[in-house]
Structure 1
Amino acid sequence: MSEIDELLSIRAAELYYEENKTQDEIGSILRLTRWKVGRLLAQAKASGFIRIEIVHPRARRLPVERRLREVTGLSDAIVVSSAGVSGDELQSRTAQAAADYLTSLRPIPRTLGISWGRTLHEVSLHLKQGWAPGVNVVQINGGVSLNKRAGTAATTAVTIAQKAMGAATLLPSPAILERLETKQAIEGDRAVAAVLDMGTSASAYLYSAGQADENSALVDSGYLTTEQVSELVRKGAVGDIVGRYIDSNGNIVDPALDERTVGIQLEQLRRAKTAIAVIAGSNKHAVAQAIVRSGLCTVLVTDEETANAILNDHNRKGNS
């Protein structure tokens, strides 16, 4: 582009985007044809002179989504803006995007396997009544709370199912047992075994991830102490998925703890046709990177900063 065309394209863009002039009006002002004005506007956008930002909370970052799909091999990616928000507001924005995605998912899953936690509870609240016709929901990991603060597992499953005019099948077990013998006895129970079988054959999965620190839902629910989580971090844990702590490569960090954890195995998520991970916030960058890197989801719903952290991680790995 010549210097004259560059200056004209900037002036045309100013008139079009800041003065709200039509292309015909710009043509009259600059003494150009309407066709020439359209070409200048296109050149201005292609040259990076124009930056358009959609600031609605439900707006998505489509270029970042496209890069995530291309670079990581995800079948789909949904990325919301992180600009100006953090904490609970960012989690709410991401949960809304997950609810929107779930509502538009085709084919509609007949059975949806879900985990539990603060993020999925938020998703259940954002889903509209009648979001799908007759989806049955099944818990894929234990969620009977050990205290009153985080007892959302059953409520989450029931809410998602009722809003889809379906039924909820709950897993009547804590997430983690103190003794292996107790866990084996519970999973040997016919009713519990039936729920786990249903979970392994679900049409799609929806889960989130927990950070490996004192703010983990597993700590909040009374399953683990902060000291136990610190020990898991020392062993390489970056977070948990369906109650199972993984390292940066998606491997289980504590086999003994994992054996006492009730729920489907991680390999089931890796083999799934549709496994939707909903993850937001800077404290979950490491676990989000591990999940994508190790193929634990096919769809990622996240925020822009987390998406960029995943892309940067992939670039580092590719250049090493």
Structure 2
Amino acid sequence: MTTGQKKPGPTEGRSLPRARSQDEGIIEVAWCYYQEGMNQNEIAERLGFSRATVVNYLSEARRRDYVRITLDHTIFRNQELARRLVETFGLKDAIVVPSSSDGPERSLDRVTRVVADWLPSLLEPGDRLGVAWGETIYRVAEAAPRLTLNELTVVQLVGSRPAAMGFAAETSSATLARRYGAHCINLHVPLVLSDRELVDRLKQEPVIREQLEAVATCNKTIFACGTCGEDSHVVHTGLLDRADIDTFARQGAVGVICGRLIDGEGRGLDREIESRMIGVTLDQMRGKDMGLLVGSGPERARPMLAAIRGGYATHVATCSDTAMNILKLALDPC
């Protein structure tokens, strides 16, 4: 080097690394963490990020579904409580996840997530999957993986009804269809009307008649059995008011399937409103190749038992506490 010549800086003579976009950073952080097994500090050092950025990028990768962590659902199907449910009630299959020590809400989250992973394995080309409504089914749909399930049709089982937090029937069916790359048949009518004659006329409309035919011919369903208390989904949506639900509970109602009340043996209650509802009937919910009943929580054991006894469920997914309560109620209903 000659005198007076500028000494090269540390980056001169070699190219600088190209600046990463945020999307590239998220993908690279996810790869290092999940594929290479690096910890967050190691990733931060390698990529020149702060540890907080690494944490945020990992969270964003999960949110965007770049990364999906699953457990083999067979371990939950082979769990002792799952086998006892199958043997006791003659089910085709059951999944029981460990209840969360953080309470019923977290347990329900575990159940809906394992169902989201289990459901695709229960579906075959040509199936028509009837999808019910409510928070539980909504959460399954939101957790569903993005797949392509060939020749699958997803069908909305009940007419539309305003519901909080997006738990409307059409939201769940449309979301599942989109996640599975499936054809979707929504039911473009209100769930309940004030005029029985209007109901009859609507059912005769060609488009509605075709949609109702799809409802009637579903060979598989996924549903929850709601409660008959003040916090019931049918109360929150205004399908029944608190006085009505209390009256029907005194008459023996213990559960709700697709807006229709059932007693402890799964029999429907004869109500005037039934003739003004548009959606799947209780008779149409029975005898399916698969009726996947999903539920979790201390108040769900009795409704779920009623749904099982009524012949609506061939498959059950729940948490360990709820499974034990269902079995206990079956042996000692008092």
TM range (shorter): 0.7 to 0.9
Question: Where do 1:69-218 residues align within 5 Å?
Answer: 69-108=86-125, 110-130=127-147, 132-145=149-162, 149-150=165-166, 152-218=168-234
- Equivalents in 1 of 2:167, 2:332: separation in Å? 40
- Equivalents in 2 of 1:192, 1:214: separation in Å? 33
In the TM superposition, residue 159 of structure 1 has moved relative to its aligned partner by: 1.0
* Alpha-carbon spacing, 1:131–1:104, altered in 2? closer, same or farther (3 Å): farther
- Secondary structure in 2 aligned to 1:121? helix
State the match for 2:79 in structure 1.
62
- Normalising by the residue count of structure 1, what TM-score does the alignment of the two structures yield? 0.75
The one-letter code matched in structure 2 to 1:284 is R
Contact 2:131 2:223 in 1 (8 A): yes
Residue 243, structure 1, aligned to residue 259, structure 2: yes
Question: Where do 1:4-83 residues align within 5 Å?
Answer: 60=76, 62-83=79-100
* Alpha-carbon spacing, 1:149–1:100, altered in 2? closer, same or farther (3 Å): closer
Q: Any runs of at least 4 consecutive aligned residues in structure 1 with deviations exceeding 4 A, and if so which?
A: 56-59, 147-151
State the match for 1:291 in structure 2.
307
- Equivalents in 1 of 2:132, 2:126: separation in Å? 16
Rg (Cα) greater in structure = 2
* Alpha-carbon spacing, 1:109–1:210, altered in 2? closer, same or farther (3 Å): farther
Contact 1:103 1:131 in 2 (8 A): no
Contact 1:252 1:258 in 2 (8 A): no
- Secondary structure in 2 aligned to 1:210? coil
Contact 1:149 1:220 in 2 (8 A): no
- Equivalents in 2 of 1:269, 1:210: separation in Å? 15
- Equivalents in 2 of 1:170, 1:246: separation in Å? 25
* Alpha-carbon spacing, 1:109–1:102, altered in 2? closer, same or farther (3 Å): farther
Residue 281, structure 1, aligned to residue 274, structure 2: no
* Alpha-carbon spacing, 1:151–1:189, altered in 2? closer, same or farther (3 Å): farther
- Secondary structure in 1 aligned to 2:316? strand
Question: Where do 1:305-316 residues align within 5 Å?
Answer: 305-316=321-332
Moved more, 84-93 or 289-298: 84-93
The one-letter code matched in structure 2 to 1:139 is Q
Q: Of 235, 241, 246, which aligns to 1:230?
A: 246
In the TM superposition, residue 228 of structure 1 has moved relative to its aligned partner by: 1.5
- Equivalents in 2 of 1:182, 1:69: separation in Å? 43
- Equivalents in 2 of 1:296, 1:148: separation in Å? 26
Contact 2:128 2:155 in 1 (8 A): yes
In the TM superposition, residue 136 of structure 1 has moved relative to its aligned partner by: 1.7
State the match for 1:263 in structure 2.
279
The one-letter code matched in structure 1 to 2:170 is A
Identity %: 27
- Normalising by the residue count of structure 2, what TM-score does the alignment of the two structures yield? 0.72
RMSD of aligned Cα (Å) = 2.3
Contact 1:244 1:261 in 2 (8 A): no
* Alpha-carbon spacing, 1:280–1:215, altered in 2? closer, same or farther (3 Å): same
In the TM superposition, residue 62 of structure 1 has moved relative to its aligned partner by: 0.8
- Structure 2: 5+ residue stretches without partners: 1-70
In the TM superposition, residue 83 of structure 1 has moved relative to its aligned partner by: 3.8
- Equivalents in 1 of 2:181, 2:316: separation in Å? 26
